[in-house]
Structure 1
Amino acid sequence: MHILLTGGTGLIGRQLCRHWLAKGYRLSVLSRRPERVRELCGEGVRAVAVLEELGQEPIDAVINLAGAPIADRPWTRKRKAVLWSSRITLTETLVAWLESREQKPSVLVSGSAVGWYGDGGERELTEESPPVNDDFASHLCIAWEETAQRAQALGIRVVLVRTGLVLAAEGGFLSRLLLPFKMALGGPIGNGRQWMPWIHIKDQIALIDFLVHQNATSGPYNACAPHPVRNAEFAKTLGQVLHRPAFLPLPAFVLRVGLGELSLLLLGGQRATPARLLAAGFTFQFTDLRAALDDLSARL
């Protein structure tokens, strides 16, 4: 099986490469820095700087995860343009390239996020729920999904993965929390009542592999554990795992002053559940937050 990945050098992409290399799959990664692909993704991974390098060689599946980190810096007008281009513009290029190919892959798995729903408050959000808030992150995800869905007209099965907060020891949002928590400066954000839809990296990799191979799956899937938690509970549990107190709150007004519009991403949340994944027969390895963090604790 030959799989093409965009965003293959990111947290999820690197883990997917290791997973599929172990299965003996052929992997190609589109990257702006092809010289680093083998180092980050594995010796058996082929790096391409432009899609045209692949010619017309057969590709069975495309995994589209490329996108600049959304929470790394404030959302200035320039930063918003980067976030948009790295997702929507790249996906437009990918779909146009797929249209030009004689042999087309059977499936396109394209990234998205639970931010698609906006700040959902107390509503339980399944894949059938509409967006509930009008913010930049929601607009970004909606446009990203709509662009990827154009591949359906080419006869390609399109799967949209709305990822929650990925728990991993190798990076991601958890790595940003470690220093303050280890220094006993961790705690809830704002009032701590916002919902956090989380997922262990092992389940994230397993569900993408599941969706690639389940021919009956298409459309959006919430990639998060069945039991989201409130921010205050998350902070308390992480503190317990790290054997540190977690009672120092980060006031909402500090975030608003320091981060501007980006603060909405941290002060809001989604009570998202993976209804369609469970209905499709996917089994999560980690459904309890404490168990998930305990699994990662030795490497944190």
Structure 2
Amino acid sequence: MKIVIAGGTGFVGKALTKLLQYKGHEIIILTRNKTRLENDIQYVQWLQRGARPEQLLHEVDAIVNLAGISLNNGRWTKKQKKAIYTSRMDATLEIVRIMEHLNSKPKVLVNASAVGVYPTSTSSIYTENSTDYATDFLGSTVYDWERRAVRAEKLGVRVTLARFGVILGRESGALPSMLLPYKLHIGGTIGSGEQWLSWVHVEDVARAIYFAITNDDMKGPFNVTAPNATRMKNFGKTIASIMERRHWMPVPSFVMRLALGEQSMLVLEGQHVLPTDLEKHHFTFKFPHLKEALQDLLV
């Protein structure tokens, strides 16, 4: 297949690219830099004045949209929140525009999303059938993001919305910053410790995206979280056990709010999210349990 990736040089994009190359597919990555061929990957410029990527995208089978400024890229100031929001909306609308101009439409668009679309809760369990939506900054951003993506359905394109949980990887994502206190021997429970962490190994994220590309029955939102979510206090204790460090110094919620402001919600609040749709379609997680995932990433 010929697969286009927007955001292909980011954390998830790199993992997906590695998987697709291993499986022998042709990859095109949309980039703000100049169009070029590198390591058997075609890089095509987009989101720049005068760029017309549609002129170089012929007979594309699938498009994966991972583009957008990271939620962890700086404190959530008013300016930063605007950048987070607009980067996602602009990229998604541009992808729809590109598809409008393609003579041969791709069969599927896999658009990134996030479990932040669900309200935070210590008691509720969310699946793709849940109708409660968060109204905070993150929830509103994800909701609008998904609405932009589904516009591609009018073009006859199958649209899937990958609602990512907290993605764990060795060098990027949330895990490195979570490990730091334990490396310094000051690790402990963050906040109440009762908040849910719906996590997922980055390899399973790439595999789930590929699964959505290749399974025609998948449509609409699907939660990309391991089937066994955990509470934050257990997450920390598991890290401490694997790293052979103490789990002893709690970090009060007010300290996190002082340090991170509104962004602190990413660690102080959470949702218990189940990957019901993936499991219904018989997707098998390589890392369904937290201890196995962390051992793979830390040992």
TM-score band by shorter chain is: over 0.9
Equivalent in the alignment of 1:204: 205
Equivalent in the alignment of 2:88: 87
> Which runs of 5 or more residues in structure 1 are unaligned?
none
Distance, in Å, in 2 between the alignment partners of 1:267 and 1:281 is 32
Distance, in Å, in 1 between the alignment partners of 2:223 and 2:200 is 10
Equivalent in the alignment of 1:127: 128
Distance, in Å, in 2 between the alignment partners of 1:88 and 1:37 is 28
User: After superposition, where does 1:209-228 map in structure 2 within 5 Å?
Assistant: 209-228=210-229
Equivalent in the alignment of 1:141: 142
Deviation at 1:53, TM superposition (A): 3.5
Paired letter, 1:190: G
Equivalent in the alignment of 2:10: 10
Equivalent in the alignment of 1:265: 266
User: After superposition, where does 1:1-300 map in structure 2 within 5 Å?
Assistant: 1-33=1-33, 38=38, 43-50=39-46, 52-55=52-55, 56-298=57-299
The superposition leaves residues 176-223 of structure 1 with CA deviations (integer Å, 9 ceiling, x where unpaired) of 122221111212210110000011122111111111000011000110
Asked if the contact 1:111–1:163 (Cα under 8 Å) also holds between the matched residues in 2, the reply is yes
Distance, in Å, in 2 between the alignment partners of 1:132 and 1:122 is 15
Deviation at 1:261, TM superposition (A): 1.5
Asked if the contact 1:195–1:230 (Cα under 8 Å) also holds between the matched residues in 2, the reply is yes
Of the structure 1 ranges 219-228 and 254-263, higher mean CA displacement relative to structure 2 is found in 254-263
Of the structure 1 ranges 28-37 and 250-259, higher mean CA displacement relative to structure 2 is found in 28-37
In the superposition, the TM-score normalised over structure 1's length comes to 0.94
Distance, in Å, in 1 between the alignment partners of 2:121 and 2:140 is 14
Task: Give me the CA root mean square deviation.
Answer: 1.6
Asked if the contact 1:194–1:230 (Cα under 8 Å) also holds between the matched residues in 2, the reply is yes
Deviation at 1:35, TM superposition (A): 8.1
Paired letter, 1:119: T
Distance, in Å, in 2 between the alignment partners of 1:53 and 1:79 is 27
In the superposition, the TM-score normalised over structure 2's length comes to 0.94
Distance, in Å, in 1 between the alignment partners of 2:89 and 2:159 is 16
Matched position secondary structure for 1:96: helix
Of the structure 1 ranges 46-55 and 235-244, higher mean CA displacement relative to structure 2 is found in 46-55
Distance, in Å, in 1 between the alignment partners of 2:139 and 2:193 is 21
Distance, in Å, in 1 between the alignment partners of 2:44 and 2:290 is 38
> Which runs of 5 or more residues in structure 2 are unaligned?
none
- Return structure 1 stretches of 4+ with deviation > 6 angstroms: none
Deviation at 1:37, TM superposition (A): 8.9
Of the structure 1 ranges 49-58 and 269-278, higher mean CA displacement relative to structure 2 is found in 49-58
Asked if the contact 1:9–1:37 (Cα under 8 Å) also holds between the matched residues in 2, the reply is no
Distance, in Å, in 2 between the alignment partners of 1:225 and 1:140 is 23
Distance, in Å, in 2 between the alignment partners of 1:131 and 1:11 is 29
Deviation at 1:121, TM superposition (A): 2.8
Matched position secondary structure for 1:236: helix
The superposition leaves residues 52-93 of structure 1 with CA deviations (integer Å, 9 ceiling, x where unpaired) of 234151110000001111023221111011101111111011
Deviation at 1:275, TM superposition (A): 0.7
Paired letter, 2:253: A
Q: Give the share of equivalent positions with the same residue, in percent.
A: 37
